[in-house]
Amino acid sequence: MTADDRSLPLRERKRLRTRRAIADIALRLFTEKGFHATTVEELVGEAEVSRSTFFRAFATKEAAAVEAETELWTTYLGELADRRPSGPVLAGLCDTLARTAGVLPPDWDHRYMATRRLILTSPALLGHVEYQRTGVERQVVACLAEKLGLDPDDLRLRILAELATTAWSVAARDWVRDGGDGGRQALTDRLRDAFAAVPDALNLSPGAS
Amino acid sequence: MTADDRSLPLRERKRLRTRRAIADIALRLFTEKGFHATTVEELVGEAEVSRSTFFRAFATKEAAAVEAETELWTTYLGELADRRPSGPVLAGLCDTLARTAGVLPPDWDHRYMATRRLILTSPALLGHVEYQRTGVERQVVACLAEKLGLDPDDLRLRILAELATTAWSVAARDWVRDGGDGGRQALTDRLRDAFAAVPDALNLSPGAS
DNA sequence: CAGATTCTGACACTCAGTCTCAATAATGCA
DNA sequence: TGCATTATTGAGACTGAGTGTCAGAATCTG
């Protein structure tokens, strides 16, 4: 899947290299000047590709900004598909997310943190990742329904898929806020904490802290 | 809050009437021709207002399409703010949503169903409502944190806020699919079912249907 | 009715995203 | 290696959403 994979045809390698180059430059420019203030025109100038090439690599300006986020969820869905169901489903999703965090490439940390920080500054980006998230959840539900032999409309599956992404979201938010201190281990620790908080949340009542 | 409220100054009444007229025509045109295929130009022609007026009433084309959805969440936040915390928080959120469904104006049903159907046809609209949803959840967390004297970053609050909107979402999806049969009562029944499914979801394991 | 305030419409402008077409680069096969 | 096939690129024109300005009209206050 990487641009240096010699097994891939040259055409494909070039395409992936261009895509990666654009995403890197996009993240840098958006961080420096702001997402809204940076035009696609400037971006493609810096990347030395044409507008056409940009929009062939990414459907929207937003998509170029959140490439690291996309990698995360693509990997998550891949890991989930490979997995055999055993034990409580929610725990399984927690493990899958932890495994995902372990499998992502080393340079992903920095890109993801930059992306998340960027998202905090731009409604358009938040909108884009939230939209992306619903797509991921839909696929998780479909995958689980298939494996467990359940109706894809089962209320419980949707609740589980949503809880998993929420737990990630909360864990990642705090991890990013602390500058990624403690690396992937810290991230997975926070993730387990977030999943552990779910039963507590259901029992939460006023007065009982 | 309605355009016919005589206690409001004339200016305000006109503004609300215009807003409502635009939203109604938008929903009709988008349903007839498709969201993407309908331009703002056509819309304002039909509504007999200028482009400027349109964008003063609604920040984006999407916002005009999902006005009924916006009414729902605005009402929800209002009901939540009025409420005193008692008993389990999740049950409280369920009650608040049920109450919200009861408080919305009679013509809301049709507009909401048309809106939800429209959303299924357009990624841009789905993105918009999902973005809107995160804003609502953020406000719910802030409101609950205030009332319960908890940290707004408390993991459990975010989980609860998310579960509530998920439960609504699932309940409304099925209700809309069945054409709103059974009216508001059917909607609140489905809502209670969805909330009831939450503990089941947590215990879900392969094999146990 | 007069003056202050707010709303409206008209118009020009920027920029994202789409489409077409000709030139170029990679591939597969003789 | 040479050649036909196929995918990729860059250039440029086009649509449409969203913004800013400004003059004039409608509403509000006294």
Cite the DSSP H helix spans in chain A.
10-33, 40-47, 51-57, 61-65, 67-82, 89-103, 108-119, 123-148, 155-177, 183-203
Confidence band for A1, pLDDT divided at 50, 70 and 90: low
Query: Mean pLDDT score of chain B, rounded to an integer?
Result: 94
First to last CA, chain A: 47
Residue A14 pLDDT: 87
Query: Is residue A28 within 8 angstroms of chain B, CB to CB?
Result: no
Residue B133: what pLDDT?
96
| 3-state SS assignment for residue B157 | helix
Q: For position A191, what pLDDT does the model report?
A: 98
- pLDDT tens per residue, range A172-181: 999 999 999 9
Buried/exposed A21-50: b ≥16 CB within 10 Å, e otherwise: bbbebbbebbbeeebeebeeeebbeebebe
Among the partner-chain residues A85, A90, A131, the one whose CB lies closest to the CB of B127 is A131
Q: Which domain holds residue B78?
A: 66-198
Integer Rg of chain B from CA: 19
Best residue in A66, A84, A130 for a mutation probing chain B (most B CBs within 10 Å): A130
pLDDT of B12 reads 83
Confidence of residue B176 (pLDDT cuts 50, 70, 90): very high
How much is the pLDDT for B8?
67
Is the separation of the CB atoms in A98 and A168 below 8 Å?
no
Quick one: pLDDT band at residue A94, thresholds 50, 70, 90? very high
Query: What are residue B23's phi and psi, to 5 degrees?
Result: -60, -40
Nucleotides of D under 7 A from a protein CB: 7-13, 15-21, 27-29
Q: Going by C-beta distance under 8 Å and a sequence separation of 6 or more, which residues neighbour residue A37? A: none
Least-confidence region, from A70-74, A108-112, B5-9, B106-110:
B5-9
Q: Which bases of strand C have any atom within 7 Å of the beta carbon of a protein residue?
A: 6-12, 14-20, 26-28
- Indicate if A130 and A51 belong to the same structural domain: no
Residues A183 and A113 in one domain: yes
Whether the CB of A152 is below 8 Å from some CB of chain B: the reply is no
Dist. CA B40–CA B51, nearest whole Å: 7
For residue A187, pLDDT over 90 is answered with yes
At position A158, the amino acid (one-letter code) is: R
Which residues touch B200 (CB under 8 Å, ≥6 apart)?
A156
B6 CB contact with strand D at below 7 Å: no
CB A69 within 8 A of CB A130: no
What CATH number has the domain bearing residue A114?
A: 1.10.357.10
In a domain, B4, yes or no: no
pLDDT band with cut points at 50, 70 and 90 for residue B209: low
Q: Which residues of A touch B131 (CB under 8 A)?
A: 123, 126-127, 130-131
Radius of gyration of chain A (CA): 19
Mean pLDDT of B189-209: 91
CB A69 within 8 A of CB A132: yes
B156: nearest CB among A86, A156, A200:
A200
Give the pLDDT confidence score for residue A9 in this predicted structure. Answer: 77
Residues B89 and B171 in one domain: yes
Chain B residue at shortest CA distance from A208: B148
Please provide the size of chain A in residues. Answer: 209
> CATH no. for residue B23?
1.10.10.60
Q: Which residues of B touch A131 (CB under 8 A)?
A: 123, 126-127, 130-131
Is residue B206 in a domain?
A: no
* Number of domains composing chain B: 2
Q: Are residues A47 and A80 in the same domain?
A: no
pLDDT at B207: 75
d(CA A8, C1' C27) / Å: 13
Residue A147 pLDDT exceeds 70: yes
Residue A40 has pLDDT above 70, yes or no: yes
Q: Band of the pLDDT at A199, cuts 50, 70, 90?
A: very high
Look at residue B20 and tell me if it is in a domain: yes
Greatest CA span in chain A, whole angstroms?
Answer: 64
pLDDT at res. A11: 80
The confidence band for B9, taking pLDDT boundaries of 50, 70 and 90, is confident
Q: How many CB atoms lie within 10 A of CB A81?
A: 13
Q: Are residues A73 and A39 both part of a single domain? A: no
The tens digit of pLDDT for each residue in B30-83 reads: 999 999 999 999 999 999 999 999 999 999 999 999 999 999 999 999 999 999
Distance of CA B156 to the CA centre of its chain: 23
